[in-house]
Amino acid sequence: MLNDIQEVLYDAEQIQQKVKELGEQLSRDFNDRNPLVICILKGAFIFMADLVKNMDIPLELDFMAISSYGASTKSSGVVKIIKDLDTPVEGRDVLIVEDIIDSGLTLSYLIDVLERRNAKSVTVATLFDKPAGRTVDLEADYTGFTLPDAFVVGYGLDYAERYRNLPLIGILKPEVYSK
Ligand code: XMP
Ligand code: MG
């Protein structure tokens, strides 16, 4: 699997260190707020798991699945809820945990949905950001790493559902796409 990676952008140790810092910062900022932490499936599942292990405060978890790219590497611009939350968000401090922001379309749609459901506050933590891809005006409140405008895999992120289990984040070799 590692054979298919052209360049490692951040290795497992660098990611773990950053996630620890983010978790500690979020623990301070969400202390006594019992946040509803929402994992955006599937990409954010590893980040969410590592992040909440570094949050030493009371919190609740829920999961939401949103369609974005399918098997392609380009955003379709079509956003759809595949799996909705089990928990009402009304009056809650909501923390969205996202893997990566590219165009920003997915998140702007999601923030809109949660605000219309009367969340008390909506905060976004993303591990990765590709600001060059942005088509809507949106910034995360917490960002781990800013990445170049390349398609990346690992640490939850996939190409055609593979590579999610790599503990690092990297750029695929171009020949992998043409297989
Ligand atoms: P938008 O464009 O809506 O995209 O901000 C956010 C979602 O698109 C996926 N995405 C990626 N997935 N490698 C991936 O495996 C990437 O480089 C990449 N860029 C965006 C991701 O699911 C994210 O939630
Ligand atoms: Mg994907």
From the CA of 103, give the closest atom in ligand 1. 2
**Ligand in closest contact with the CA of 149:** 1
Tell me the pLDDT tens digit for each residue of 57-82: 999 999 999 986 554 555 556 688 99
Task: Judge whether residue 117 has pLDDT over 80.
Answer: yes
With the most atoms of ligand 1 within 8 angstroms of its CB, the residue from 5, 7, 102 to mutate is: 102
Cα 20 to ligand 2 centre (Å)? 24
**For residue 111, what pLDDT is reported?**
95
Distance CA 41, CA 33 (A): 24
**For residue 1, what pLDDT is reported?**
86
149 is catalytic: no
Cα 58 to ligand 2 centre (Å)? 30
**For residue 75, what pLDDT is reported?**
59
Rounded mean pLDDT of 141-155?
96
The model's pTM: 0.94
Task: Judge whether residue 126 has pLDDT over 60.
Answer: yes
Cα 100 to ligand 1 centre (Å)? 6
ipTM: 0.94
**For residue 69, what pLDDT is reported?**
54
Name the active-site residue from 50, 93, 99, 102. 102
Long-range contacts, stretch 160-168, CB < 8 angstroms, 24+ apart: 160/71, 161/71, 162/1, 163/1, 163/4, 164/42, 164/43, 164/45, 164/46, 165/1, 166/1, 166/2, 166/5, 167/11, 167/12, 167/15, 168/5, 168/8, 168/9, 168/10, 168/11, 168/12, 168/15
Task: Judge whether residue 149 has pLDDT over 70.
Answer: yes
**Ligand in closest contact with the CA of 154:** 1
CATH number listed for the domain at residues 13-150? 3.40.50.2020
